[in-house]
Structure 1
Amino acid sequence: MKPNRLEALFALLEETPNDPFLFYGIALEYLKTDENKAISYFEKLLTDFPDYVPTYYHAAQLYSELGRRPQAQQTYEKGLQVSSAQAEHHAYKELRSAYTNFMLEEDDEE
């Protein structure tokens, strides 16, 4: 029987426990089935691997979906800082676009 993605990611994580890509993959897998577990893995990434740029987009979106707007805004803003500092232009543009939409949604709610 073929292991599912989560099982495979957890097995790899045992071998390389400091690989942010594995935590990111786990968070994305949980995003499909369990938002609370997903956010806990995104928060681990934000705390333990703050330079891992891909985290910010999905974490901020999930915070927003969960109604945690202050955390979403803070995460977008931090992600913009980190991606800019690392010259991750594509990630910066995606974050900037998502952040702009996020802020426009806030304006629509007022």
Structure 2
Amino acid sequence: MSKLSRIEMLQSFAEQEPENPFNWYALALEYQNSYPENAANLFHKLLKEHKGYLPTYYHAAHFFAEYGDLDLAKTIYEEGIVLAEQEKQEKTLRELKNSYQNFLFENDLGD
């Protein structure tokens, strides 16, 4: 019996439990380097269908910044910061704010 690849395993989990955002999130992270178009599609899916899944925001913003969609990355950071504030997730809020400030600085997008 062949061992399932990590991607195949994560795809299977996502198909079995499509309402669980973690499965889509894990698959998006796995796709980032090898299949960026698939990762982009999954990040869009998460941001649309699972807006309350906070871990998505940091990685999606970073991903889209890396691929040159700075406006989308900026929006995702800002939405993630608002969500983290609403959920009183202090550690995630700090991480998002720090990453957002670095993003603004690196891309010369400061106010």
TM-score range, shorter chain: over 0.9
Residue 32 of structure 1, CA deviation: 2.5
Q: Which residue of 2 aligns with 1:80?
A: 81
Q: Extract unaligned runs of 5+ from structure 1.
A: none
Give the C-alpha shift of residue 10 in structure 1.
1.5
Matches within 5 A, 1:1-110: 1-107=2-108
Query: Which segments of structure 1 move beyond 2 Å, counting only runs of 4 or more?
Result: none
- For 2:31, the aligned partner's letter is Y
State how far apart, in whole Å, the 2-side matches of 1:84 and 1:42 are. Answer: 21
Aligned-partner SS, 2:56: helix
- Relative to the length of structure 2, the TM-score reads 0.92
* Count of aligned pairs: 108
Give me the whole-angstrom Cα distance separating, in 2, the residues matched to 1:52 and 1:102: 21
Aligned-pair CA distance for 1:14:
2.2
Q: Unaligned stretches of 5+ in structure 2?
A: none
Q: Please report how far the alpha carbon of residue 18 of structure 1 lies from its aligned counterpart in structure 2 after TM superposition.
A: 0.6
Structure with higher helix content: 1
Q: Which amino acid aligns with 1:16?
A: E
* Coordinate RMSD, CA, aligned: 1.2
| In 2, Cα distance between equivalents of 1:12 and 1:69 | 31
Shift of 1:22: 0.2
Identity %: 36
Q: What TM-score results when the alignment is normalised by the length of structure 1?
A: 0.93
Deviation by residue 1:62-87 (Cα, 9 ceiling, x = unmatched): 11111111101000000000111111
